Amino acid sequence: MEKEISRAVIRRMPRYYRYLGELIDAGVERISSNDLSSRMNVTASQIRQDLNNFGGFGQQGYGYNVKYLYEEIGKILGLSEKHNIIIVGAGNLGQALANYVEFEKFGFRIIALFDVNPKLKGQSIRGIGIHMLDELDAFIRKEHVDIAALTVPKANADTIAAHLVELGIPAIWNFAHVDLKLPDQNVVVESVHLSDSLMQLSYNIAKNKKE
Amino acid sequence: MEKEISRAVIRRMPRYYRYLGELIDAGVERISSNDLSSRMNVTASQIRQDLNNFGGFGQQGYGYNVKYLYEEIGKILGLSEKHNIIIVGAGNLGQALANYVEFEKFGFRIIALFDVNPKLKGQSIRGIGIHMLDELDAFIRKEHVDIAALTVPKANADTIAAHLVELGIPAIWNFAHVDLKLPDQNVVVESVHLSDSLMQLSYNIAKNKKE
Q: Per residue in A114-136, pLDDT tens?
A: 999 999 999 999 999 999 999 99
Nearest CB to B198 within list A173, A202, A204: A173
In 10 A of CB A202, how many CB atoms? 26
Of all residues in chain A, the one with the smallest CA distance to B210 is: A2
What distance in Å separates residue B200's CA from the closest CA in chain A? 7
**Mean pLDDT rounded to a whole number for chain A:** 90
Indicate yes or no: CB of B200 within 8 angstroms of CB of A11: yes
- Cα A180 to Cα A15, A147, B70, B172: the distances in Å are 26, 15, 21, 28
Indicate yes or no: CB of B171 within 8 angstroms of CB of A99: no
Hey, which of A57-71, A129-143, A170-184, B12-26 has the most confident mean pLDDT?
A129-143
Nearest CB to A8 within list B8, B147, B202: B8
Question: For the segment B89-115, what is each residue's pLDDT rounded down to a tens digit?
Answer: 999 899 989 988 889 989 999 999 999
Indicate yes or no: CB of A106 within 8 angstroms of CB of B195: yes
Indicate yes or no: CB of A205 within 8 angstroms of CB of B83: yes
Indicate yes or no: CB of B199 within 8 angstroms of CB of A106: yes
Indicate yes or no: CB of B208 within 8 angstroms of CB of A202: no
DSSP-based three-state secondary structure for B60: coil
In 10 A of CB B63, how many CB atoms? 17
Do β-strands B147-150 and B171-174 pair in parallel, antiparallel, or remain unpaired?
Answer: parallel
Please tell me the distance from the alpha carbon of residue A18 to that of residue A11, in angstroms, as a whole number. 12
Cα A159 to chain centroid distance, Å, stands at 23
Using pLDDT thresholds of 50, 70 and 90, give the confidence band for residue A3: low
The whole-model pTM stands at: 0.87
Helices in chain B by DSSP H: which ranges?
7-25, 33-40, 44-52, 66-76, 92-99, 102-105, 136-142, 154-166, 194-210
Residue B157 pLDDT more than 90? yes
Residue numbers of B between 134 and 173 with CB closer than 8 Å to A: 146-147, 154, 170-171, 173
Q: Which residues contact B1 (CB under 8 A, 6 or more apart)?
A: B54, B55
- DSSP code of residue A59: B
Q: How many residues does chain B have?
A: 211
Q: What is the pLDDT of residue B171?
A: 96
- DSSP code of residue B149: E
Indicate yes or no: CB of A206 within 8 angstroms of CB of B78: yes
Q: Does B15 touch chain A (CB under 8 A)?
A: yes
Q: What is the pLDDT of residue A38?
A: 84
Chain A residues with beta carbon closer than 8 angstroms to that of B37: none
Residue B7 pLDDT more than 90? no
Chain B residues with beta carbon closer than 8 angstroms to that of A128: none
Kindly report which listed range (A134-148, B43-57, B186-200) carries the lowest average pLDDT score: B43-57
Indicate yes or no: CB of B77 within 8 angstroms of CB of A108: no
Q: What is the pLDDT of residue B11?
A: 86
Kindly report which listed range (B62-66, B191-195, B204-208) carries the lowest average pLDDT score: B62-66
Of all residues in chain A, the one with the smallest CA distance to B125 is: A92
What distance in Å separates residue A77's CA from the closest CA in chain B? 4
Indicate yes or no: CB of A197 within 8 angstroms of CB of B147: no
Using pLDDT thresholds of 50, 70 and 90, give the confidence band for residue A1: very low
What value of ipTM does the predicted structure carry? 0.91
Q: Does B188 touch chain A (CB under 8 A)?
A: yes
